[in-house]
Amino acid sequence: MGGVYGAHRMVARTCGAEGPLVWASPPIRAVIRRHMELQHHILLGASHLSGNGRLGRYVLLPGTRGRSAKIAEYLEDVVVIDNPRGHTAYLGGFRHEHGVVDVLVTSSGMGTASTEVILHELLEAGARRVVRVGSSGSMDPNIRAGDAVIVTGAVRDELATRHIAPTEYPAVSHPSAVAAMVEGARQTQHASHTFLGVGHTKASLYAREFGHGPLGEQNRAYGETLARCGAVASDMEAAMLFIQASVRSAGHSASLSAGNETVPVQAACVLGVYGDDESDMDLDPDLCALADRRAIEITLSGIVAWARLDGVI
């Protein structure tokens, strides 16, 4: 395997399991990065995002390294690119009845601040279709642990996205992205355990969601208000995903007849439900594993539907 991608693999083998560049001196690291055009934190470049014709790889963005590894088990011909910051990347293909969709999986870390860094660099490297595959807490009594939620938009209850767009600007998923994930839920037979709706993205887990600390009563009341407004699940990353995707697509409006590919960046979000607002992190590991499996399978089937909309397959 030649070119920049092959060079990256060679560096990874030379530098050991801790990831490419980690054992090189700072001047040498800088030279290698410039030569390979790698993004600073993710250590990935345009060659890693290439695939699916001109569109590039579909990027799956879980919060944790563990869920990244789970997703990689569904892929074939996987190449692992270690990262000293823990954002290990998996490049592979997801096989479906008509062929293979090229996929890249890497973790965002927790919260909008970490997600902003990782997603920005992925977009700089060429990512155009991104799905957050995450976990959440239910805000609706009909949604139980083990279920999945496809998020259509998110309440921006954090500060990081305010440095990108004013608070009045909504954080919403592109309709084509939502439609693709809905089709994924139907194709995987998970539709009866999959819900659709507005999510809540927060900056604080224990205080804001679970009511710890001196503002606990106020925070719980806020969550209950959002639930009465129709919010269905709470996470810590979705709003950043949607805002960055919208900003990257600004100025590229086209009529529906122009096709789905005319939208430069689209983002989706599929969340496994780990518990409800009363759980206080007292979670059932079996239900968490079930939620992960449903979210992953919905997403992988969803990117096949997305690829059809994009004209990739």
Tell me which residues of the chain have a pLDDT lower than 70: 1-36, 277
Per-residue pLDDT at 16:
34
Q: What is the pLDDT of residue 19?
A: 44
Judge whether 313 and 99 are in contact, CB under 8 Å: yes
Beta strands in the chain (DSSP E): 58-62, 76-81, 89-96, 99-105, 129-138, 148-157, 171-172, 194-202, 233-235, 266-276
Run of H or E residues at 71: helix 65-72
Task: Give residue 4's pLDDT.
Answer: 36
Assess contact for 152 and 259: CB atoms under 8 A. Answer: no
Identity of the amino acid at 1: M
DSSP one-letter string for 225-271 = HHHHHT--EEESSHHHHHHHHHHHTTT----GGG-GGGSS-EEEEEE
Please write the tens of the pLDDT for every residue from 74-92: 999 999 999 999 999 999 9
What pTM does this model have?
0.88
Is 273:145 a contact under the CB 8 Å cutoff? yes
Angle 229-183-237 (CA atoms, 0-180°, nearest 5)? 50
Q: Which residue is listed with tokens 């973790």?
A: 107
At residue 277, the pLDDT reads 67
CA–chain centroid gap for 93, Å, is 17
Is CATH 3.40.50.1580 the classification given to domain 45-310? yes
What pLDDT does 12 receive? 41
pLDDT score for 240? 98
Q: Residue 85: which H helix or E strand, with range?
A: none
Whether 130 and 241 have beta carbons less than 8 Å apart is answered as yes
- Bridge partners of residue 65, in order along the sequence: none
Q: How far apart are CA 235 and CA 219, in angstroms?
A: 15
> Which residue ranges make up each domain of the chain?
1-38, 45-310
DSSP bridge partners of 196:
150
pLDDT at 117: 98
Is 81 in contact with 36 (CB distance < 8 Å)?
no
CB neighbours (10 Å) of residue 184?
A: 27
In the DSSP assignment, the letter for residue 83 is -
**Which residues are within 8 A (CB) of 308 and not within 5 positions of it... i.e. 6 or more apart?**
none
Where residue 154 falls (left for φ over 0; alpha for ψ -120 to 50; beta otherwise) is: beta
Contact partners, residue 252, CB within 8 Å, separation at least 6: 262, 263, 264
